[in-house]
Amino acid sequence: MKEKIRQIEESAEKELVNSKNAKELDDLRIKYLGKKGELTQVLRGMKDLSAEERPIIGGIVNKLRDKLEQIIKEKEQQFEIEKLQEKIENEKIDITLPSTKVKRGSKHPLNRVIEDIEDLFVSMGYDVVGGPELETDEYCFERLNLPKDHPARDMQDSFYITSEYLLRTQTSSVQARVMESNEEKTPIRIICPGKTYRREDDATHSHQFNQVEGLVIDENITLAHLKGTLEVFVRRMLGEKSKLRFRPSYFPFTEPSYEVDVSCFKCGGSGCNLCKQTGWIEILGAGMVHPNVLKMNGYNPEKYGGFAFGTGLDRLAMFRYGITDMRYLYKNDVRFLNQFSQFER
């Protein structure tokens, strides 16, 4: 019996120590310590032993079982560690590999222009305000000195929704809103960039376009303030060398009114295809706020005066970035839009 136990000990120890994985180890546990395992068989055979031998053999078998269980436990731990190490090895990330490129969007050229204008005017103490795109006839025209039968309404082909509501044809509508809503009738300095709509659609006009409006109301405002302000504005937009030219014009809400030209930034004024050989490009409408407009919106024209200007942002963006067709601005073609990530603004 003792010899049999010794043989089991020898082979079990050897096999357990040499086992290569958890499966092998488990099979060996069954082989030796399982219900029908070799050591269990020995215990079963003890009933045939004499009363003196039984405790002795029993003691040896129990000791051996403890020993084998200890070996199994150690091997299990070893396999556990090996498994973890293998996992770490397999999941290792090589941080020196080049990454897959993340595609980044770029700011729309119109937004670049708008943000730049806002930065400039905020730095000069202006507020940036908004207003509704679905506007009433009252704010879009009447409060700007354009009564219903006024011929100048024909200048703008409007999208009427009802007889009273239309899509605003000009951001000038915000002038009336700002003046009216300022209950204390204190000085005003605002710009309003935003969408505007007219019934037009060709390479230089779109049915939806963008304007920025400027309005200053205060005491002792003169044409010199308007000229100085527009000069700062245009030079920031189109280059420091830009010169301005004021041509008398007509807008119902300003008196006097001007159309403002900038010296051609492409040829420098000598004449080219962009300026149609004139050296000048029209960019702005402007003027001194009409006394009727002040009065209609609650300001005393005896005390207050002001200037206003409005310009198309789409054209400004086109000039600034050399875009030849306005409709590109509205197609959202990424091949077009991505070209602007190279610009700082």
In angstroms and rounded to an integer, the radius of gyration of the C-alpha atoms of the chain is 44
Number of residues that bind ligand DAH (CB under 6 A): 11
308 binds ligand DAH (CB under 6 A): yes
Q: Where are the beta strands (DSSP E) in the chain?
A: 127-128, 134-136, 159-160, 165-167, 188-197, 208-218, 244-251, 254-263, 280-289, 305-312
Q: Which is nearer to ligand DAH, 79 or 250 (CB)?
A: 250
| Distance in angstroms between the alpha carbons of the first and the last residue of the chain | 94
* 285 is an interface residue for ligand DAH by CB under 6 A: yes
Report in angstroms how near the CB of residue 228 gets to ligand DAH at its nearest: 16
For residue 141, report the phi and psi dihedrals to the nearest 5 degrees: -130, -55
Q: Of residues 178, 294, 310, 316, which one binds ligand DAH by CB under 6 A?
A: 310
Select 3 or 154, whichever has its Cβ closest to ligand DAH. Answer: 154
Q: Does 213 bind ligand DAH (CB under 6 A)?
A: yes
Q: Are 210 and 193 in contact (CB under 8 A)?
A: yes
CB 212 within 8 Å of CB 171: yes
Q: Smallest distance from the beta carbon of 343 to ligand DAH, in angstroms? A: 27
Element (H, E) at 69: helix 53-90
194: contact with ligand DAH by CB under 6 A: no
Residue 305 or 310: the one with the smaller Cβ distance to ligand DAH is 310
Choice between 158 and 242, CB closer to ligand DAH: 158
Residue 286 binds to ligand DAH (criterion: CB under 6 A): yes
> Judged by CB under 6 A, does residue 173 bind ligand DAH?
no
Q: Which of 258, 313, 327 lies closest to 288 in space, CA to CA?
A: 258
Nearest residue (CB) to ligand DAH, 57 versus 190:
190
The residues, any chain, with a CB within 8 Å of residue 257's CB and separated by 6 or more, are: 248, 249, 250, 251, 285, 286, 287
Supply the minimum distance, in Å, between the C-beta of residue 286 and ligand DAH: 5
How many helices and strands, by DSSP H and E, does the chain display? Answer: 11, 10
Please, what is the minimum distance in Å from the beta carbon of residue 282 to ligand DAH?
11
Contacts with ligand DAH by CB under 6 A lie at 170, 172, 213, 251, 254, 285-287, 308-310
